[in-house]
């Protein structure tokens, strides 16, 4: 493909991505940041964990995005009595045929909304996260490959909410990003109130992207260039979470129990490429890496009890690392 043709495809996709944001904006007020991160996950094949108190339009945003993308969508409400079979499916006996048949569960869709994932026990969480990692599930003796694209967008309430089961760190690590969803501004909340109060408000949206478009954008994002110096910069950022004293982060070192896993390096690279692509560039800048660093690493750094006692957050640690670690030359 010629450079001109590639550029034209890029511009066409960029226009469609803007259209996606506009369509979602017809229904959801604000939350552009959340939608941007959901699209980063979609175009880099990474799952996203959304954390925020109830009522911040997390569920509405994900379901609206699925409509705009015209993808098969399943919403699974996680509850304490949910079973793994409720998620992946099970074998049922067909009396007429005299044999067992597979009944597939709601996980067989392109976009899975795991609503309030931290309200279900560990076995159900593990079943979902195994499907996320392997892109397949086993029912009975048969293994089924999940449809592509396959994207899990999970929501959870903060851990101090009543009746929740915190996700184990090893499982949370499988999410590409953990995005904190904040309250709307006064003007945004005023608009939300007016829309919801208007019984005739139209919540329908138009389809913008097809599956083929999504796979095409993924190919283009994969072609975004990242220099060796920036690749090494990513490695330095991640290693600073593991050996902070080597990077003169003595103050932060006392609070870190475990640093970020290798998935942090992989996902920093992928997310930075997606951000560069959204900006219309075919190369990554240091600012792209810094922009996604908080979301990629905030759930991968395990702090100790001293941090809790001193009210130190992972975001504080990451900001200190970004300020201290120089860009490799």
Any idea what the CATH number is for the domain that residue 55 is in? 3.40.50.300
Tokens 């094949």 found at: 45
Same domain for 289 and 157:
no
Question: What is the pLDDT at residue 2?
Answer: 47
Q: Closest Cα to residue 31, out of 67, 58, 54, 52? A: 58
Q: How many domains does the chain have?
A: 2
Same domain, 152 and 65: yes
Select from 213, 240, 258 the last residue of a domain. 213
Q: What is the pLDDT along the chain (329 residues), one digit of tens a residue?
A: 444 555 666 677 777 788 888 888 888 887 788 888 999 999 999 999 988 877 777 888 888 888 888 888 888 888 888 888 888 888 787 777 777 777 888 899 888 888 888 888 778 888 888 888 888 888 877 788 888 888 898 888 775 555 566 777 777 888 999 998 888 888 888 888 887 787 666 777 888 888 888 888 899 999 999 999 999 999 999 999 999 998 898 888 899 999 999 999 999 999 999 999 988 888 999 999 999 999 999 999 998 899 888 888 999 999 999 999 988 76
Q: Is 69:21 a contact under the CB 8 Å cutoff? A: no
Q: Quote the DSSP letter at residue 77.
A: E
Q: Both 308 and 165 in a single domain?
A: no
3-state secondary structure of 155: strand
Q: Indicate if 207 and 274 belong to the same structural domain.
A: no
- Which one, of 104, 126, 130, lies nearest residue 117 by Cα? 126
Burial of 48 (0-12, 13-18, 19+ CB in 10 A): buried
Query: What's the CA gap between 135 and 133, in Å, rounded?
Result: 6
Closest CA to 112 of 159, 157, 59, 164: 59
In this structure, are 53 and 185 located in the same domain? Answer: yes
**Per-residue pLDDT at 329:** 67
CA 128, CA 14: separation in Å to the nearest integer? Answer: 32
For residues 161 and 266, membership in a common domain is answered with no
Q: At what angle do helices 314-324 and 228-242 cross, to 10 degrees?
A: 130
Structure tokens at 142: 């048969």
185 lies in a domain?
A: yes
Neighbours of 83 (CB within 10 A): 13
pLDDT the model gives residue 271: 95
> Residues with Cβ < 8 Å from 12, sequence gap 6 or more?
none
Looking at residue 283, the DSSP 8-state letter turns out to be B
Rounded-to-integer distance, Cα 19 and Cα 31, Å:
15
CATH code of the domain covering residue 283: 1.10.8.80
Angstrom distance (rounded) from CA 90 to CA 78: 18
3-class DSSP state of 322: helix
The domain boundary, picked from 183, 213, 243, lies at: 213
Q: Is residue 220 part of a domain?
A: no
Inside any domain, residue 218: no
| Angle formed at CA 86 by CA 114 and CA 129, multiple of 5 degrees | 45
Same domain, 27 and 113: yes
Within a domain: 12: yes
Helices and strands (H, E) in the chain, number of each type: 14, 11
Please give the residue range of the domain that contains residue 121. 3-213
203 and 286 both lie in a single domain: no
pLDDT at 159: 56
The radius of gyration of the chain from alpha carbons, rounded to an integer in Å, stands at: 21
Domain assignment of residue 219, yes or no: no
**CB-CB contact of 234 with 269 (8 Å):** yes
Q: Are residues 35 and 177 in the same domain?
A: yes
Tell whether 168 and 229 lie within a shared domain.
no
Domain boundary among 213, 233, 268: 213
Q: Are residues 205 and 230 in the same domain?
A: no
Q: Are residues 199 and 258 in the same domain?
A: no
């Amino acid at each position: 493909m010629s450079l001109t043709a590639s550029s034209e495809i890029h511009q066409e996709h960029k226009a469609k991505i803007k259209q996606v944001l506009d369509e979602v904006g017809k229904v959801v007020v604000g939350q552009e940041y959340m939608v941007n991160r959901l699209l980063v996950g979609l175009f880099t094949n990474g799952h996203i964990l959304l954390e925020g108190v109830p009522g911040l339009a997390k569920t509405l945003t994900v379901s609206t995005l699925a409509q705009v993308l015209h993808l098969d969508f399943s919403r699974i409400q996680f509850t304490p009595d949910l079973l793994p079979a409720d998620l992946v499916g099970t074998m049922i006996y067909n009396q007429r045929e005299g044999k067992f048949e597979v009944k597939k569960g709601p996980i067989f869709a392109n976009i899975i909304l795991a609503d309030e994932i931290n309200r279900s026990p560990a076995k159900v969480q593990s079943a979902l996260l195994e499907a996320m990692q392997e892109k397949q599930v086993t029912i009975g003796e048969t293994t089924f490959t999940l449809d592509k694209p396959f994207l899990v967008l999970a929501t959870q309430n903060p851990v101090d909410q009543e009746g929740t089961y915190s996700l184990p760190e090893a499982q949370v690590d499988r999410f590409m990003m953990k995005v904190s969803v904040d309250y709307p501004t006064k003007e945004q909340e005023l608009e939300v109130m007016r829309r919801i109060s208007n019984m005739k408000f139209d919540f329908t949206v138009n389809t913008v992207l097809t599956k083929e478009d999504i796979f095409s954008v993924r190919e283009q994002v994969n072609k975004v260039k990242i220099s060796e110096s920036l690749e090494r910069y990513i490695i330095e950022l991640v290693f600073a979470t593991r050996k902070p004293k080597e990077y003169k982060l003595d103050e932060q070192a006392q609070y870190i129990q475990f640093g970020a896993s290798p998935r942090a390096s992989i996902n920093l690279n992928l997310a930075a490429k997606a951000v560069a692509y959204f900006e219309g560039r075919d190369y990554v800048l240091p600012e792209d890496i810094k922009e996604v660093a908080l979301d990629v690493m905030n759930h991968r750094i395990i702090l100790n009890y001293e941090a809790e006692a001193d009210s130190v957050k992972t975001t504080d640690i990451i900001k200190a690392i970004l300020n201290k670690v120089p860009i490799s030359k």
